[in-house]
Structure 1
């Protein structure tokens, strides 16, 4: 029986919930495990927690509904409220590389893979960047070019060091949806020469408050047949902007985890944002403004919305 895990706001604070069909159950209540009151607590013990949830899901699917919570009445939070490190793939869809080059009046460059390189990532903050469904993300200071980037996010479920791409998905607990919001006009320091070591400002560009909306829940990896073949779409105010498939990645998820795990040890609760396809605002000269509503959808996971304030 399939299930997903979510975080919701209760009168006792943030809680982990198990979504089975159209019903939600408090994980601590149905499992009897106080340490699983949050999704991060479950990831710290993912092998046991996932096995227990598999059993619970089969039981709860046939339950009369006693103890079930009303999903429609819930205030959903980001599935991982305070994740570990957020690793974000840069330029990982060929069509996105081409559209960004075109926006700068340049010819399409060779990709990292074309050059024989491995996947490249940057880091976002987590506690200040991650927000959940329905959040209103404030436009960061001095930004006129706030852009959207729909991404499949892989959640690490066990410690990973020097893993091979062929084995890498075994280290993924599951998947969720993220928006790698980007302040395009804050990415470079205008007073510095392009060759300067400090020319790029990744904090202002990528790590401002609310820069990583995430949701609506976290789907365990055993329920995603092929994470490298998922349809994905993003709308702004009902207008379709991005329409692609994760099969269009330059480096697939296994290759990304291999590259990362040879640089750092990945820990349970770390999240890998796997890149965005073409259709971002920079490619069309259109950017987010106060009052806009962004909707994100990925097949086999779900959809959620957030606003811009």
Structure 2
């Protein structure tokens, strides 16, 4: 099942079931409401009613898709988790960690799957990173690797937009360089775990203005998504709606200096999950 948050004009956000090129409004199903994060703990029980719902139907092109999870308690990312990407990072002068390397993206960076990405005035090193996003479905702590898939609600496409000079030079942690406003586009919807045979073997591609920059598969992760969940839950309780960005493959802009500029169109796509597409714009002046 594919579940989207969307709205029409200035109307409040709705939850919809994506069927082909249409979205069916399922907000009226008892227990669904307008928050996908709030829905997740009851999703397994409500899934039959959502699947059978026959609410108002809209063309996908006639609605504005919103970030599926706009209000997670946590948005966590792992650094240098693809083998070839770790090597290109090393070539760019970045120290390679010996263990899982985690950082926060502040949740205020989250934006919609087709909303603009703002290039900040204070940097000329705006970079892209396609990533498989994992959304946690239930409260969990001390999860074994073998049980980790059971706590996943679903998946989405993430662009872990990064401001490189703030990431590596202006701050001792990754948080600031990863958290500029609009630098967390995600979507286009939540694809539930039951729809994906093997999340560890998905093709992922990113292009800038039609020029392919990244083309890899999720089976190249150093630490797979189940190992990531097990590692994190040794430290913290993961909550329904928490988003994990699971690492980017080779092909980022930093090693070649091909950074994003206003007018660039960035498209990120993952097999079975759909695509997001964002135009880079200059930072509006106050």
Q: Same fold (TM over 0.5)?
A: yes
**2: CA distance between counterparts of 1:207 and 1:67?**
36
1:180 match: 160
**Shift, 1:71, TM fit:** 1.2
**Shift, 1:142, TM fit:** 1.1
**2: CA distance between counterparts of 1:206 and 1:155?**
19
**Shift, 1:103, TM fit:** 2.1
Match of 1:75 among 42, 59, 64: 64
1:195 match: none
1:7 match: 5
**Shift, 1:270, TM fit:** 0.2
**Shift, 1:51, TM fit:** 4.4
* Structure 1 runs (4+) greater than 4 angstroms displaced: none
Kindly indicate whether the alpha-carbon contact (under 8 Å) linking 1:78 and 1:215 is maintained by their aligned counterparts in 2: yes
Kindly indicate whether the alpha-carbon contact (under 8 Å) linking 1:189 and 1:201 is maintained by their aligned counterparts in 2: no
1:85 correspondence with 2:65: no
1:134 correspondence with 2:114: yes
Aligned residues, how many? 280
Matches within 5 A, 1:140-155: 140-155=120-135
**Shift, 1:23, TM fit:** 2.4
Q: Which runs of 5+ in 1 are unaligned?
A: 61-65, 191-198
Going from structure 1 to structure 2, the CA distance change for 1:263 and 1:141 (only over 3 Å counts) comes to: farther
1:293 correspondence with 2:265: yes
1:25 match: 24
**Shift, 1:189, TM fit:** 4.7
Larger radius of gyration, structure 1 or 2? 1
**Shift, 1:201, TM fit:** 4.3
Match of 2:192 among 192, 209, 220: 220
Instruction: State the TM-score, normalizing by the size of structure 1.
Output: 0.86
Match of 1:237 among 180, 193, 209: 209
Matches within 5 A, 1:156-305: 156-189=136-169, 200-305=172-277
Instruction: State the TM-score, normalizing by the size of structure 2.
Output: 0.92
**Shift, 1:120, TM fit:** 2.6
**2: CA distance between counterparts of 1:180 and 1:42?**
25
1:102 match: 91
**Shift, 1:12, TM fit:** 2.9
Kindly indicate whether the alpha-carbon contact (under 8 Å) linking 1:229 and 1:247 is maintained by their aligned counterparts in 2: yes
**Shift, 1:305, TM fit:** 0.3
Kindly indicate whether the alpha-carbon contact (under 8 Å) linking 1:27 and 1:37 is maintained by their aligned counterparts in 2: no
SS at match of 1:232: strand
**Shift, 1:139, TM fit:** 1.1
**2: CA distance between counterparts of 1:22 and 1:219?**
15
